[in-house]
Amino acid sequence: MIRNNDSRQMFGRVLMMVSLCLVFAASCTIIPNRAEGNNIQPSPAMQKMRMAQLIIKFRNNVPEPSKIAFVQELSRDAQATLFYVRPMSGGAHVFRVDNISSAAQLAEVIQRLAKRPDVLYVEQDKIMQHQQK
């Protein structure tokens, strides 16, 4: 009787381990991406609805660029939806621009914002990569 109970416990443990391994394996499955070499191509829907970030440095007369009313005013002038992201060192601020469909559209937003008298400069926030010589 004792041996029968031990074998049942061992079978239960093995069954539990097999079940956990199956759940782990199922959670590790990867949905294949369309790729050309190392360059993964986003789907057409993702390409249509992109976002970009801008770095904007204001003149001294802008006390709180993160306030909702000020961000709404910037959005109106840029003719795009802006969201405040964070302050940067040196007094600049990062804003996110949603629904950018092309580089030309982003350039127009930057140009509109640069015309504001309280903007010292505005540029796209890009990820810098070190290049070897």
Residue 131 CA, chain-centre distance (Å), reads 24
* Interatomic CA distance for residues 65 and 126, integer angstroms: 21
Q: What pLDDT was estimated at residue 46?
A: 44
Looking at the domain that runs over 47-124, which CATH code has it been given? 3.30.70
| pLDDT digit string (tens) for the chain, length 133 residues | 556 677 778 888 877 777 766 666 666 655 444 444 445 555 454 455 478 899 999 988 777 899 999 999 999 999 999 999 999 988 899 999 988 888 999 999 999 999 999 999 999 988 777 777 7
- Domain coordinates in residue numbering, the chain: 1-31, 47-124
SS (H, E, C) 50-85: EEEEEEEEECCCCCCCCCHHHHHHHHHHHCCCEEEE
Q: Exposed e or buried b for every residue in 75-103, given b needs 16+ CB within 10 A? A: beebebebebeeeeeeebbebbbeebeee
List the helix and strand counts (H, then E) for the chain: 4, 6
- Exposure of 99 in the CB half-sphere (CA atoms within 13 A): 7
pTM of the model: 0.59
CA proximity to 116, closest of 58, 55, 52, 54: 58
pLDDT of residue 2: 53
